[in-house]
Amino acid sequence: MRDWRSWFEFGRTLPLAPGVHAPSRFSALLAAALQDCGDRTVIDAGCGAGLITIAALRAGARHVIAIDSDPAAVELTRRNVAETLGVQPVEVLRLDFRELDELDADLLAVNPPQRPASTLEAVEPDQRHLHVGGGADGLDTLRLVLRHTRAATVRTTAADTLPIRSVPAVSRRRVLTATLPMHRAWHPLTGPEAPVSVWELRRTPVSTAGSRP
């Protein structure tokens, strides 16, 4: 599936668990941007219901390491992958983004919390905790991921209104862009619809000595 709409509709069929974020349009756009990850080891950082893990495996990834700090998300991804694809080369771990330096991979895919702090008051109270972390400009969680990952290449979603070029990277390229309906919390910044992109950020990898294979 190369269209984000198809991935979004598929994501809506995945079982959920209390407190786990349902696959969003941002995640669906990221899934659509992973069609070239065949024969790579991929980290799904913040796996949630497992949509990105499934997309990478369907694209032929050699191995996927799915991580989330929420044990419910870890179990949900494990179950959704098994029920959707059967036995696969996947490892699902409970890890925080600060522990990414334990893992080695060719590519890390992430749809990070990116709503600027000023927008969070408009988020539903029972969902607000899922969107904390973007900081003042929405990009603090992405910076955290880049500081800790060993992967030389990171693919991330970012609403085009965010200052993605302020994020340190050796190089960056826009992989895919679509105009998406935006949650009401975004409306003061973007209006009801806005362009969102998947960016590929390249960074200098740290030493892999002692990392998990």
Provide the whole-model pTM. Answer: 0.93
**Dist. CA 149–CA 168, nearest whole Å:** 13
**Dist. CA 4–CA 10, nearest whole Å:** 10
SS3 40: coil
Task: Give the residue with greater pLDDT, 212 vs 115.
Answer: 115
Which tens digit of pLDDT belongs to each residue from 160-195? 999 999 999 999 999 999 999 999 999 999 999 999
**Dist. CA 16–CA 13, nearest whole Å:** 9
Q: Which CATH number fits domain 4-202: 3.30.460.80, 3.40.50.11750, 3.40.920.10, 3.40.50.150?
A: 3.40.50.150
Q: How far apart are the first and last CA of the chain?
A: 29
**Dist. CA 146–CA 23, nearest whole Å:** 23
Q: What is the model's pLDDT at position 203? A: 78
Reported confidence tier of residue 26, pLDDT bands at 50, 70, 90 = very high
Q: What is the model's pLDDT at position 209? A: 43
Which tens digit of pLDDT belongs to each residue from 105-150? 999 999 999 999 999 998 898 888 889 899 999 999 999 999 999 9
- State CA 165 to chain mean position distance: 18
Reported confidence tier of residue 206, pLDDT bands at 50, 70, 90 = very low
Q: What is the model's pLDDT at position 106? A: 97
Q: What is the mean pLDDT of residues 55-67?
A: 98
Distances (CA, A) of 8 to 32, 63, 73, 140, 181: 10, 23, 18, 26, 12
Reported confidence tier of residue 2, pLDDT bands at 50, 70, 90 = confident
Backbone angles phi, psi at 96, to 5 degrees: -90, 155
**Dist. CA 23–CA 6, nearest whole Å:** 12
Whether pLDDT at 207 is above 90: no
